[in-house]
Amino acid sequence: MRDRRRRIVGGVAAVLLVGLNVACAEDFGDDVPTFEIDAFWPMPLEYPNILGPVSGVTVADNGNVLIVTRQDGFSRANEVNVVTETGDCCRPTQAVLEYAPDGSLVAEWGGADMGYPWPGRPHAIAVDPAGNVWIGGGVAPPAGGRGRFGRGRGGGRGGAAAGPPPAPTVDTHILKFSRTGEHLMTIGEAGGTASSMSTNGFGGAAGFSFDEGANEVFVADGFANRRVAVLDMDSGELLRSWGAYGDDPDDSALGP
């Protein structure tokens, strides 16, 4: 009986899917979108450059694709030999890369040690209506895990120190740049404490959306915090925020 029910449910689902596909085809005619993987996009980087893990992607108004990459997790043994001066390959690119639609590299910029507090774990990237680039952060593993160029020491099996594990690091600020990588503004205090009630800090800004008419940016402040924060696009001032169901933000423990 159970198998028969499964066959009936499966058959109904298949009919529904076919019906939806037919309806979509009728609605769109010959304009039904199709997608094809281009395994050779983007174009290969010039040797010996190497791309870090891509943690954010956005498309600008001119069709160019901007990505933000992480600079941690590279193996010191065989991926950053140019940096460690132990070989010819490889060298990490800068943190932000811009590609033309054909996959050619247009520009690269940004990263740590450049005069502004780069996120420990950059995540979100978006281009606002004025063409400026916004970058948020996330949650980085605790010290003793992977560092900027590979695994750190300690914390391995059998050698861990007694006591509770160290807490992860939360990026509590947002960066705003010009399209060419000029640092325009740091919003929030880097190295602060994550709190959904903070007026000058964030808990891992995971995404951005813009209201050009109101000159506002909506921030998905949700890696460690639990809110949507709305900022003035020019000053970075917090205008309002809300949590679940439109209520005031609340960081109370949710339980299991």
In a domain, residue 254? The reply is no
Look up residue 201 and give its two tokens: 């800090």
Contacts of 8 (CB under 8 A, 6+ apart): none
Give the H or E element holding residue 111.
none
Shared domain check, 19 and 131: no
In a domain, residue 255? The reply is no
Per-residue confidence in pLDDT tens, the chain, 256 aa: 545 444 433 443 443 344 445 455 556 667 888 899 999 999 999 999 999 999 999 999 999 999 999 988 788 888 888 888 888 889 999 999 999 999 999 999 999 999 999 999 999 999 999 999 999 999 987 754 455 555 443 444 444 556 777 888 999 999 999 999 999 999 999 999 999 999 999 999 999 999 999 999 999 999 999 999 999 999 999 999 999 999 999 999 888 8
Q: Exposed e or buried b for every residue in 95-114, given b needs 16+ CB within 10 A? A: bbbbbeeeeebeebbbbeee
| CB contact at 8 A, 55 and 121 | yes
Closest CA to 137 of 184, 201, 200: 201
Shared domain check, 144 and 20: no
In a domain, residue 103? The reply is yes
Shared domain check, 149 and 70: yes
**In total, how many domains does the chain have?**
2
Spatial separation of the C-alpha atoms in residues 137 and 68, rounded to whole Å: 10
In a domain, residue 119? The reply is yes
Which range of residues forms the domain containing residue 65? 42-153+164-246
Query: On the CB side of 31, how many CA atoms lie within 13 Å of its CA?
Result: 2
218 three-class SS: strand
Shared domain check, 54 and 77: yes
Shared domain check, 96 and 199: yes
Give the H or E element holding residue 75.
none
In a domain, residue 81? The reply is yes
Shared domain check, 231 and 138: yes
Shared domain check, 51 and 169: yes
Q: How many CB atoms lie within 10 A of CB 90?
A: 20
Shared domain check, 124 and 7: no
In a domain, residue 256? The reply is no
- Please report, for the domain that includes residue 108, its CATH number: 2.120.10.30
Q: Residues in the chain, how many?
A: 256
Shared domain check, 83 and 132: yes
In a domain, residue 142? The reply is yes
Shared domain check, 99 and 192: yes
Closest CA to 185 of 195, 171, 174: 174
Give the H or E element holding residue 233.
none
Sheet-wide strand order for 65-69: 54-59, 65-69, 96-99, 105-109
